[in-house]
Amino acid sequence: MKKMIVAILLCVSLLTVPSCSLLTKIVDRSTTEDTEETDDTEDTEDTTEEETEKTKADTTKKTEQDETKDTTKDVQPTKETTGKETGTAQNGDITVDEQVIVDQGGIKVTLKSVDMNSDWGPTLSLLLENSTDKSVSVQALGSSVNGIMLSTWFSSDIAAGKKSNEQLSYMQQDLDTAGIKVIKDIELYFNVYDTETWDTVFDTGMIQITTSADPSYVQKYDASGDTIFDQDGFKIIVRGMDMPGAYSGADVYFYIENNSDKNVNVSTQNVSIDGFMIDPYFSCEVFAGKKAYATMSFMEEDLTKNDIKTISAIDFDITVFDEITWESLAEAKAISVAF
């Protein structure tokens, strides 16, 4: 039953993918000082021919030295190309050390490398080994990058006694929405289950992967918008709305913080647009201490059925559930957001 729920949530996540240059100006330095010196030399009437030649040689030498100095200064890295704010150019150079990240119950997972320029987005190359006598499937769950929850598209079936080279990818669009320009830290865990029975064999602990990015890099979080919920360590902000959205309907964008010590799922109920009840696609998993950028999506056919061409307000309830026990940890009724 657990795997059926996971499958359903994965389908839903496919429908809720969030939608989300610094210029360096180099100013050439002037050589006015050298020009003035040359002019003064030319205007001196009593200078001998030897002194004149010496003056010209000295001037030429000084000018060449200044130009060399200026050129060297111009090509020095600027804050935009090496600092914390750009990062995009750095990502192509980021690497990870080859390391065993899982060695449990006869299942071994080795992180081989990372490709920041993959077509899908940043991609981890993994070697999976199954030394048991059963076929298993391995899923990556609960993943975050730089403290921001991000979905991964990874599931692998491995027959008994076999090995498999696999890739785990993050969508570049999700990274852009979250404002992630430099991947510094990755966290995730693996769920290993019997391929035939779907029974869980084991869940790994949380795995932490640190890249070669600058250790001093600090991820920035865009928490701009209207705060609609702030209690018990949970904060929810509405960042805006697009109509039409990704699926020709409407998308409402959220920023969510979980400052509690529990892993939670945030969901909405009793959703209406300008008084018409409509069920959106929305569910957001946020682990303890993490952030998330989430999208509430309304389908075009639902808006058309209710003759909704513009959106003035959306009303809904919010509930924050404990991810393990499904106990309600916090809730708010009749939240109204105007656009």
**SS3 string of 298-326?**
ECHHHHHHCCCCCCCEEEEEEEEEECCCC
Report yes or no on whether pTM surpasses 0.85.
Answer: no
CA atoms within 13 A on the CB side of 44: 15
Rounded alpha-carbon distances, angstroms, from residue 238 to 230, 294, 339: 12, 10, 10
User: In this predicted structure, what is the pLDDT of residue 153?
Assistant: 78
More confident residue, 55 or 95: 95
Region of poorest pLDDT, from 23-32, 38-47, 48-57, 109-118:
23-32
Other Cβ atoms within 10 Å of 170 Cβ, number = 24
Q: Which CATH class is domain 88-210?
A: mainly beta
Does 187 or 244 have the greater pLDDT score? 187
DSSP character at residue 221: -
For 210, list phi and psi in degrees, rounded to 5.
Answer: -110, 130
* CATH topology match: 88-210 vs 226-338: yes
Q: For residues 233-248, give the mean pLDDT.
A: 92
Query: CATH number of the domain at 226-338, please?
Result: 2.60.40.2550
Per-residue pLDDT of 46-78, as tens digits, reads 444 444 444 444 444 444 444 433 333 333 333
Domain parsing of the chain, residue ranges: 88-210, 226-338
Confidence of residue 313 (pLDDT cuts 50, 70, 90): very high
Q: What percent of the chain has pLDDT over 70?
A: 73
